[in-house]
Amino acid sequence: MNEWTREEWEQVKNAPSLSLLYIYTPMCGTCQVASKMMQVINEVVTYPIGQANINYLENLAMEYEIESVPCLLISKNGIVIKKIYAFQSVPYLLDVIKSIDGTVLT
């Protein structure tokens, strides 16, 4: 997963397919576990997935009303459809993504 700037996220999120932005902070223990899950998700799905350190994207946090990290933003056609805070498991995340789009696995 590549680190995305705000501009990169805005460009990718406006695509007609799903796009995912994983938001974290480096010192968060839960984020470190979620990062490992997101690495697996990145290998399984074909959608663009980026990550961003919320410490550098304060305006994004306010605009999307991000309540805590880790947070996964799932967007389609420029609209954030879902925010996930509880990264329960890789299968859980895949099920949520699949429920939004229907075709997840490569």
> So what's the pLDDT on residue 106?
44
Domain ranges of the chain: 2-100
Say whether pTM exceeds 0.85.
yes
Is the pLDDT reported for residue 90 higher than 70?
A: yes
> So what's the pLDDT on residue 29?
95
What is the rounded average pLDDT of the residues 13-17?
88
> So what's the pLDDT on residue 102?
67
Q: What is the pLDDT of residues 21-78, one digit of tens each?
A: 999 999 999 999 999 999 999 999 999 999 999 999 888 989 999 999 999 999 998 9
Give me the architecture of the 2-100 domain, per CATH: 3-Layer(aba) Sandwich (3.40)
Is the pLDDT reported for residue 17 higher than 80?
A: yes
| DSSP string for 54-103 | GGG-HHHHHHTT--SSSEEEEEETTEEEEEE-----HHHHHHHHHHHHS-
**pLDDT band with cut points at 50, 70 and 90 for residue 19:** very high
